[in-house]
Structure 1
Amino acid sequence: MPIPPTMAAVAYRRPLPITEPAALEDVTLPTPTPGPHDLLVDVRAVSVNPVDTKQRRGTDPNGEPKVLGYDAAGVVVGVGSEVSMFEVGADVYYAGSIARQGTNAEYHVVDERIVGPKPVSLSFSEAAALPLTTITAWETLFDRLRLGTDDTGTMLVPSAAGGVGSMILQLGRVLTGLEFVGTASREESRAWAAELGAHHVIGHDDLPSSIDRITGSGLDYIFSPRTAGMIPTYAEILRPGGAIVAVDEPEGLDILPLKAKSITFHWEMMFTRPLFQTNDMINQHHLLARVATLVDEGKLKSTMTTELSGLDAGSVRRAHEMIEDGHMVGKVVIGRA
């Protein structure tokens, strides 16, 4: 089928609250042309992440249509001159780059080195739920903390029913020997975290007492989605030589309380490799391929819990509202009608 010169997309032109009608709009844009290492993907489904809402609220495109979306599953319909791993017709899934236009469009270009083969056993929508959170979780466990199958210890996963927490629990249970303590407040969230691998699920409040009841001697690792105001508590509940991996952007963060216990503090940003075109960028391709195999073997599952239909401004707006509400369990996905 010939590729049309223009495509439908969902964009924003200036930072606005999601309640504003102009916060997201349907637009028509030129269909992108793949560069040397790029795939042109016919997008079949996308998922929405907190980074989408942060970008919409905090980054001003100065009136130009900026397309958001950093998760997609679809079919390759064009390839660049130096592409070697995929052919036209391949089913793929991936998270893109904040340096490029996003996936909320009919067609999208993405560097093949951060793309994986879609799990055969999943639909496009089920697959679209996985890439960004999976890459974040994988890099947290295996790149930042350098954990392996023989490693043991105890890890705290706050907001364990969220997108990244859901994947840390699954990957950690399959590929490490760690014990996982998740936090969740609602019954639905607690059940989800337990189903995906949390050995213990506790509330968000009074972490020192809860951790003491479970381990009696503290934690080895903490994944931190919300770090502001938490460093003193982390310093208290971590064992000497413990480690934290944070994914948020707290202003004025003071990590000095970690020094006495020689606690290591890591940042994790899954866009680092594509943003800086690192020499090991292809590792994201390899990890997505490995995860696809684990899914098809029945060892991991999609974290899609809500599916909306129609990749238009109305559906994307609804997904942003759900994210900003702060009570998501798993992932919200939008399938193209």
Structure 2
Amino acid sequence: MKAIGYKKAGPIDAQNALIEFEADTPKLRPHDLLVEVRGISVNPVDVKVRAGQSPESGTKIIGYDAAGVVHQVGSEVSKFNVGDEVFYAGDITRPGTNAELHAVDERIVGKKPKSLGFAEAAGIPLTSITAWELLFDSLGVEEGGGNGESLLIIGGAGGVGSILTQLANKLTQLTVVATASRPETIAWVEKMGADHVINHRESLVEQLKSLDIQPRYVAALTGTEGHFSAIIELVKPRGHVAFIDDPETLDIKSGKPKALSFSWEFMFARSMFETDDIDQQHKLLNRVSEFLDDGTLLSTVNRNFGELSVSTLTQAHREQESGRAIGKNVLDGFTN
């Protein structure tokens, strides 16, 4: 099968940063689906892995979002049949989705939204799983709960921020404050349903004071080190802060006087460790699919780079690395 990957970690503009090659068709484990990939997306994790993790041997295929059609099923598969249309975010410990065919555990796969094409559907899983787990698992907010409380989302225009804003707006009673700094990102965050938009390049403390808002919950999606002192000052006593980025250092002792709770959200944890509740991702993706089909949630896809190739995938990686991506960027699968 055709696939795109890399042999050596480094910058996207390096020679042969990404290459097309022939790879073996994946062998299925008992719970696996073999999916004919029709659409993929690019996430921050794609560029982090490509830039910083050299393959142990050979060529590494990345890509952690896909939508496609089930081509074959493993011996213990019970949730899907050949021909079903699916979407999912995959498993970081296994070969990725930048290929014609991809093997994935059915317990982390959802039914593709009927209202979206394959490429657009591929832009949803990783960010929706991350946002869902962050809001309901890490922060512990209950669906329908949060009345009288606020959530601060730092990095509201990115993929996770876009879907997190919607989930909090539609499924809880929280007041949602999200950050954005450019006219186009402010407009995007407003479209996603934020109650208030503030600028993360200015004082978060002063802006929230002017709104008379003290959040109980903070989703620190980007730039955590630079914003950490402000977060500690802002959040309510006994509040909760959840992170998804990778700060070099983080001294959480300053949160002790307020008895704060801190959590990391990493959506690959369930698949990496095959946790007892691994099928929660199957269940939540099915709910997200239904919400997209009934209009409860809006697609967060903002750009399609076209058919998957070394050239188009390189462009998408470059855009992701620029820090100026709004929502999600996607690509169609290889042409058969």
Matches of residues 208-287 of structure 1 in structure 2 within 5 Å? 208-216=205-213, 218-225=214-221, 226-287=223-284
Identity of matched residues, %: 46
2:109 to 115, 136, 146: 115
| Partner Cα distance (2:270, 2:61) in 1 | 21
| Partner Cα distance (1:211, 1:321) in 2 | 34
Residue in 2 that maps onto 1:312:
309
Q: Is the 8 A contact 2:67 2:122 kept in 1?
A: yes
Opposite residue 193 of structure 1, the aligned amino acid is V
| Partner Cα distance (1:177, 1:134) in 2 | 19
2:130 to 132, 136, 144: 136
Q: Is the 8 A contact 1:231 1:254 kept in 2?
A: no
Q: Which runs of 5+ in 2 are unaligned?
A: none
Q: Cα distance, 1:233 vs. partner?
A: 1.1
Q: Deviations over 1:301-332 (max 9, x none)?
A: 21111001121111111110000000011110
Opposite residue 96 of structure 1, the aligned amino acid is G
Residue in 2 that maps onto 1:169:
165
Two-structure CA RMSD over aligned residues (Å): 0.9
Residue in 1 that maps onto 2:14:
20
1:44 to 38, 45, 49: 38
| Partner Cα distance (1:191, 1:229) in 2 | 24
Q: Cα distance, 1:263 vs. partner?
A: 1.0
Of the structure 1 ranges 65-74 and 306-315, higher mean CA displacement relative to structure 2 is found in 306-315
Q: Deviations over 1:123-170 (max 9, x none)?
A: 111111100000000001111112121222111111111000001011
Q: Cα distance, 1:292 vs. partner?
A: 0.7
| Partner Cα distance (2:215, 2:26) in 1 | 48
Q: Cα distance, 1:16 vs. partner?
A: 1.4
Q: Deviations over 1:258-296 (max 9, x none)?
A: 111111100100000000000000000000001111111
Opposite residue 6 of structure 2, the aligned amino acid is Y
Q: Cα distance, 1:63 vs. partner?
A: 4.5
Opposite residue 205 of structure 2, the aligned amino acid is P
SS in 2 for 1:211: helix
Q: Deviations over 1:185-208 (max 9, x none)?
A: 111100010011111111112000
**Matching of residue 125 in structure 1 with residue 119 in structure 2:** yes
| Partner Cα distance (1:52, 1:180) in 2 | 28
Runs of 4+ more than 4 Å apart: none
Q: Cα distance, 1:50 vs. partner?
A: 0.3
- TM-score, reference length from structure 1: 0.96
Q: How many residues align?
A: 330
| Partner Cα distance (1:150, 1:283) in 2 | 20
Residue in 1 that maps onto 2:319:
322
**Matching of residue 187 in structure 1 with residue 183 in structure 2:** yes
| Partner Cα distance (2:135, 2:60) in 1 | 32
Q: Cα distance, 1:215 vs. partner?
A: 2.3
| Partner Cα distance (2:65, 2:244) in 1 | 17
Residue in 2 that maps onto 1:75:
69
| Partner Cα distance (1:325, 1:166) in 2 | 18
Matches of residues 297-308 of structure 1 in structure 2 within 5 Å? 297-308=294-305
SS in 2 for 1:98: coil
Residue in 2 that maps onto 1:3:
none
Q: Is the 8 A contact 1:16 1:22 kept in 2?
A: no
**Matching of residue 55 in structure 1 with residue 49 in structure 2:** yes
| Partner Cα distance (1:41, 1:91) in 2 | 9
- TM-score, reference length from structure 2: 0.96
Residue in 2 that maps onto 1:150:
145
| Partner Cα distance (1:75, 1:271) in 2 | 22
Q: Which runs of 5+ in 1 are unaligned?
A: 1-6
Q: Is the 8 A contact 1:40 1:77 kept in 2?
A: yes
Q: Cα distance, 1:298 vs. partner?
A: 0.8
| Partner Cα distance (2:46, 2:215) in 1 | 32
| Partner Cα distance (1:215, 1:269) in 2 | 32
